[in-house]
Each structure stands twice: as structure tokens, then as C-alpha cells.
Chain A
């Protein structure tokens, strides 16, 4: 549980830091696709008797870079890109799992599990998270500019292509860090939902990012503790908590605006 708590703290900080740029660029489905790529990476890691988290990071990075490359190639059919990478990833994962050559059960990675977080995972997660958060801080203004207007960013002299490739690796890092706890199937939600919740508050960029991190911490911690006592997979329950928090914020916002409108009418 201690290891799980440690990893969860890093997930809740890193995921929204990456997720905010994915959501604002309308790329949140990339998170979903790459989380399936991570399953292929996990199976490859297990097949080679290496760390599954590291395997996930390497293969997801390759797939992230592939998406970026295909974005240039399929300019008019960008919807095809995710289908191609999804097919490659799930195809690889299913082939390896069904070959019977894995000596470990990959289910824990599908749904997330507190018990499977090892000390080696802890170290990998720690290193990946620190490097990724530092990279986001270093590229903060470039990433904002690219997310706001990619073409204007290019004119402003930002090396958009290179930063997009680096960003693909950062997405891969966030996903690899999260798979142990959250699991492959609902990983996309951890990247997008806290950001979607923070966006409801209608604040500036910095405040939206801070609120995303706060919502993410609340979602994961609540998900982790409640799932532990209910004896269910933390990934699924965390996703449910994220949806519940989002719905609650939307409801409070709607009620607040209705009260305001009523007050204006009355006056």
C-alpha cells in the first residue's frame, strides 16, 4: 500500500501536466491509444524478462513518435493514425499474450493493482516522473504556444516538430508511470478527466493546470482508498471517482449560474 501511495502521488501530478496539453490540442484520444500501446510494451518487457514499466515506456514512446510521424504523412486523414497505432499495439499485445510464452499474468496491468507495485517500479516511476515534470516546466511556454496555435508557434521560431516528438515521449512517460495503479483500460481517463473538470472553472491557464493537479490528487487518492476497502481494482474505481467529480463540478456550476440568473431577474 505504501508503494502504491508513493506511485499515486507521482501519477496525480504528472498525468494532468501532460493531459492539459493533450486535451487543449484535442488529442485526448491519443492518451487512450497510447495506453493500449503500453499493454504491448508491458508484454514485451515481460517476454524479455525486463521491467514491464520500462518496456511500456519504450514501446509507448515509439508509438508516440510514430503518431507524430504519421501526422505529417496522413495530413488529410488524421483519424486513421490512431486506428493504425491502435491496431499495431493491440495486435502485438494479443499475439504475445496468446503465444503462452509469458510467465506472468498481464491482467494486473489491464485493471491496475495496488499489490503488484514493486520497489523497482517505484524507482522507475520516480525517475520518469521527475524528468518528465522538469521537461514540462522547461518547455512550458513553448507547449502553451503550440497548443494555442501551432502555425503561429512555427512562425515564432519554435521548433514545433522537435517539441512534438519530445511531448510524445512525455505522454509515454505519464502512461508508463500510471499503468501499475490505474491499469491500461482506464488510463486515458486519468489523463483527460481531471483537466476536463478544471476546465469547467473557467480560469486562466496556470490556474487550470493547478486545479487539474488538485482534482487529479483527489480522484486518485479517493479511488485508491475506497477501492482498497471495497477490494476492487483501483483503476476502475478511480475512473468512476473522476467521472463523479466532473459531474459534481458541472452540476454545481449549473446550479450556481441558475441562482445568479434568478437573482438578476429578481433585481
Chain B
């Protein structure tokens, strides 16, 4: 689904690189969590996948025609924007040239947000607005869903709902998911693979192996069997 070869990126076009020779292959149907310290290049990698920025050198390609994107939640911009849940989704439906109006209540039901059509986005809780943004991303029937810290600013109960939904979308609908994560517990519990980025380089491993590496690095011996 996603293939990166000798991928280098720096915002100035010269070293030091934010991404320093990334080689990555994510297969169809995977649920990959991208983890790492702040500023290690997780969001930059996602922006490269989404073609919002261009690599300094190397290549990054995706086989998906339809990509859904759930950006990092920005309370400041969305809370002041005068738009209802229905207006937001309906605008996107029209941009997609989809005539079926019934898709809005159907998708809102899928993300457990039925009944919130008339609510202003700014009046929703962090978890509710995140579910609306996932609903918006799902309207284009994506093959690949990219999320940037989906649990950021979301209460624990809503986090559980969001991760259950993502897991369901991955396992039942076959949507490939790539999610930038700070929430290591959620990443280990839900992903099929973890991509760990550190100092511009990364490696892909199983959640179990990542958990053991993480515990070892923290000096704890209670590795997961």
C-alpha cells in the first residue's frame, strides 16, 4: 500500500535531515502505528505519504486511489468555525459528487454520532469531534486511512470507542490504517505493526517486539511473552 525508498527530507533541502534514509513497506490491510519521540518526523512522514510536501530525495508512493485523512485535532480553529456536523459532512459529500444523501446518517451511525447532525462542531467534546472527522474521512470510501494522533485531547471512554472503531474498520472493512501515535498502549493493543522512528530513521516490527524493546530500554524485565 505504501512504499518508501531511500527517503530523505529536510525543510531546508540540506542536511540535517528530519527523515534520514527511510525504507518502508506497508502492505494492504495492515494497521500500522507510527511512534517515536516528539519531533522525530512522524507527522512529516505522514505529510509525505499524503503528498502535502515533496521528498528532498528518494521516493514515497502509495497504491491507494482513495485516501482518508484525519488531521491532528486543532481545537482553536475548529471550535470557532460556525459549521454544523451535517453541513461539514454534506459539503464533503458534494465535493465528492456523491448524490446519496442517506450516506450522512449511515456514516454518523457507524461512528456512533447519530443525533448530532445539527450540533455545531465547536460545541462537541474532543472525542465527539474526532469521531466526526473520522466520519468525514470515511465518506470517500477510503482504501487507506491516515490519522495524526487520533486520541490527542480525547477522554478515555471516547479513546476506547475510537480505537474499537479503527480496529473494526481495519479488520471488517479491510481499510489499511496508518496512525501517528503518542498513545503507546493503544498502539500496541490495536496495531498489526509498529513503525518506530528515531533520529530520522525507522524500523517496522510487531507490537509485541516493540513492547519488549520499549520495556528493555526502560530497564524493566517484565517482557511480554
A151 near B83 with CB under 8 A, answer no
- Chain B: interface residue total (CB-CB under 8 A): 21
Number of A residues, CB within 8 Å of B = 22
> Taking the complex as formed, is A156 at the interface, i.e. its CB lies under 8 A from any CB of chain B?
yes
Q: Closest A residue to B74 by CB, please name it.
A: A149
Which of B82, B91, B120 has the most C-beta atoms of chain A within 10 angstroms of its own C-beta? B82
The majority secondary structure among interface residues of chain B is mixed
A205 contacts which of B50, B83, B94 (Cβ < 8 Å)?
A: B83
Q: Give Cα A142 to B96, complex, Å.
A: 11
Q: Is the interface of A mostly helix, strand, loop or mixed?
A: helix
CB atoms of A154 and B52 under 8 A apart:
yes
- List CB contacts (< 8 Å) of A116-153 with chain B: 141-142, 144-145, 147-149, 151-152
Residues of B within 8 A of A207 (CB): 82
Is the CB–CB distance between B81 and A24 below 8 Å?
A: yes
Within 8 A of A (CB), among B69-122: 69, 71, 77-78, 81-84, 86-88, 91-92, 94-95, 118, 120
A103 located at the interface, meaning its Cβ lies under 8 Å from any Cβ of chain B in the complex:
no
A152 touches B94 (CB 8 A): no
Query: Quick check: is A253 within 8 A (CB to CB) of the other chain?
Result: no
Contact of A262 with B by CB under 8 A? no
Decide if A148 touches B69 in the complex (CB within 8 Å).
no
* Most chain B beta carbons < 10 A, residue from A199, A203, A204: A204
> 14 A-B Cβ contacts within 8 A?
A141-B92, A141-B94, A148-B77, A148-B88, A155-B50, A155-B67, A156-B95, A199-B82, A202-B82, A202-B120, A204-B86, A205-B82, A205-B83, A207-B82
| 10 closest cross-chain pairs (CB), A and B | A204-B84, A155-B69, A208-B82, A141-B91, A205-B83, A141-B94, A144-B91, A155-B50, A205-B87, A204-B87
